[in-house]
Amino acid sequence: MQKLMMELTCFGGFTTQQQMKGGPGGSSTGFGNFKEIGPLDVNLNERNTTWLGSASLLFVDNPVGAGYSYATKDAAYTHNSHEIATNLVTLMSSFLEKVPDFKKIPFYIFSESYGGKMAAAFAKELLSAIQESKIDCNFKGVALGDSWIAPLNSTLSWGPYLYATSLIDGVGLADVDQTARQCEKAVISGDWFMATTLWSQLEDVVEKVTFGVNWYNILQWARQYKRHVEVYANDLHQLMNGPIRDKLKIIPKNVTWGGQSEQVFEHLKEDFMKDIIMTVSKLLETDIKVVVYSGQLDLIVNTMGTEQWINQLQWSDLEDYIKSPRKPLYCDNKMAGYIKKYKNFSFYWILKAGHMVPADQGETALVMLNDVINN
């Protein structure tokens, strides 16, 4: 392969008791690999829309405690995006030293959900390390898919998005907005722990007034009160803790895939509702590509909230980007989405897809990938 792509996926995590929490805590080696873009699906059948045909893939269970990654002491868990990014630079440095052929191959970071927040911070730290000659890496770009870049923008848009798609009425909209505004007040006051608590309470309100909306795709109705990746995790949990664990032969006996994700979330509660808009702004002032893509049917990080934080970027070319034309994206000669590009920034609207774009629209996602890494 002539390109290397690191995939950072971080959905809602789960504990051994299957209690659901929002990301961080989800596994890239599990969800990103077997549910979305890897060569095999969860039934170990070949995937026709794998990204492996376009780039070498590196899946990372991150932060420490996600997926197969584990901590033996409490101090090993991360507490903010900077610590996560530092760990990832260390990992990348070690990887490139062990596989030096990849030092000169174009490198891209692709991410999803909370993984996008981590990817933006990682990209910033990686650029600094390259500039300081601490690491030799041909870093070309970062892609943020349905990413938790601006938590408040996403949260405040839940009510309007649900109302616009007929999933709540005016009374439901008022109930959702009331709790969302309480969350906003906590963010403004800097009470980050309370902001995360209110965010969780808001999810309860949303699920009650919608009678169990699917957070990841509003058209794929979930059983009431089944939250986030619990809907998707059962078969994957069996695969990762069974055949894949046996195949790898390196996972300690006391480690369960996904078993520490609850602790991951708990240690990042103070950081969870903090935005990282300024980090994306700084990335746009560099030479690397910055890509954002959004699934039309995603609720938790819906397009409405994503466009709001894009318009808040502190980027010298923002006005020119906003004025630039939006063009159609075709897949197999059919309308599949839209693209807007200006200089090193691209935004892809992916139609008929939810939070996990490659899972819902695999062929379109592959078209997008090739446009990003080859254009």
CB distance 183 to 204 below 8 Å: no
Same domain, 161 and 200: yes
179 and 64 within one domain: no
The verdict on 190 and 318 lying in the same domain is no
Instruction: Confirm whether 27 is a catalytic residue.
Output: no
Structure tokens at 17: 């008791």
Neighbour tally for 297: CB within 10 Å: 22
Same domain, 324 and 240: yes
Our separate counts of H helices and E strands in the chain read: 14, 8
DSSP structural state of residue 52? G
Quote the tokens at residue 262.
């609850």
Query: Which letter does DSSP use for residue 365 in this model?
Result: H
With residues binned 3-state (H G I as helix, E B as strand, rest as coil), the percentages for the chain, rounded to 5, are: 45, 15, 40
DSSP state of 351: T
**Number of folded domains in the chain?**
2
CATH number for the domain spanning 253: value is 3.40.50.1820
Residue 36 located in a structural domain: yes
Question: Can you name the residues that pair with 143 across neighbouring β-strands?
Answer: 110, 291
Element (H, E) at 295: strand 289-295
Q: Given this model, what pLDDT does residue 19 score?
A: 26
Of 342, 341, 345, 335, give the one whose Cα is nearest residue 296. 335
Asked if 355 is an active-site residue, the reply is yes
Chain-centroid distance, C-alpha 191? 24
Rounded to whole angstroms, the Cα distance separating 206 from 282 reads 34
Instruction: Note the pLDDT of residue 22.
Output: 32
Please give the pLDDT value at position 123. 97
Q: How far is CA 207 from CA 25, 107, 211, 228, in A?
A: 21, 40, 6, 11
* CA distances to 2, 29, 165 from 143, in Å: 18, 18, 27
Instruction: Give the pTM.
Output: 0.92
- What's the CA gap between 138 and 141, in Å, rounded? 10
Q: Are 24 and 112 in contact (CB under 8 A)?
A: no
Residues 22 and 115 in one domain: yes
Residue among 228, 237, 267, 355 flagged as catalytic:
355
Contact 129, 26 (CB under 8 A): no
Same-domain check for residues 10 and 126: yes
**Could you say which of 113, 147, 157, 261 is catalytic?**
113
- Known catalytic membership, residue 146: no
Domain hosting 362: range is 4-149+232-374
| Judgement on whether residues 370 and 274 belong to the same structural domain of the protein | yes
How far apart, in whole angstroms, are the C-alpha atoms of residue 53 and residue 363? 13
Q: How far apart are CA 258 and CA 274, in angstroms?
A: 24
pLDDT number for residue 228: 58
Rounded distance between C-alpha atoms, residue 99 and residue 95, angstroms: 6
Residue 223 in any domain: the answer is: no
Residue 237 shares a structural domain with residue 354: yes
139 contacts 288 by C-beta, under 8 angstroms:
yes
CA 328 from centre of chain: 24
Look-up: residue for tokens 């007034």? Answer: 209
Report the C-alpha gap between 145 and 291 in whole angstroms. Answer: 8
Catalytic residue, from 271, 275, 298, 360: name it: 298
| 245 neighbors 279 (Cβ within 8 angstroms) | no
Give the CA distances from residue 162 to residues 207, 230, 299, 370, in Å, rounded to whole numbers and listed in that order.
11, 21, 8, 32
Q: How many CB atoms are located within 10 Å of the residue 73 CB?
A: 6
pLDDT digits (tens), the chain, 375 positions: 577 777 676 544 322 222 222 367 788 999 999 999 999 999 999 999 999 999 999 999 999 999 999 999 999 999 999 999 999 999 999 999 999 999 999 999 999 999 999 999 999 999 999 999 999 999 999 999 999 999 999 999 999 999 999 999 999 999 999 999 999 999 999 999 999 999 999 999 999 999 999 999 999 876 544 555 555 567 888 999 999 999 999 999 889 998 888 899 999 999 999 999 999 999 999 999 999 999 999 999 999 999 999 999 999 999 999 999 999 999 999 999 999 999 999 999 999 999 999 999 999 999 999 999 997
In a domain, 225, yes or no: no
Does one domain contain both 167 and 144? no
Please indicate, yes or no, whether residues 161 and 133 belong to a single structural domain of this protein: no
Q: In whole angstroms, what is the distance from residue 48 CA to residue 25 CA?
A: 28
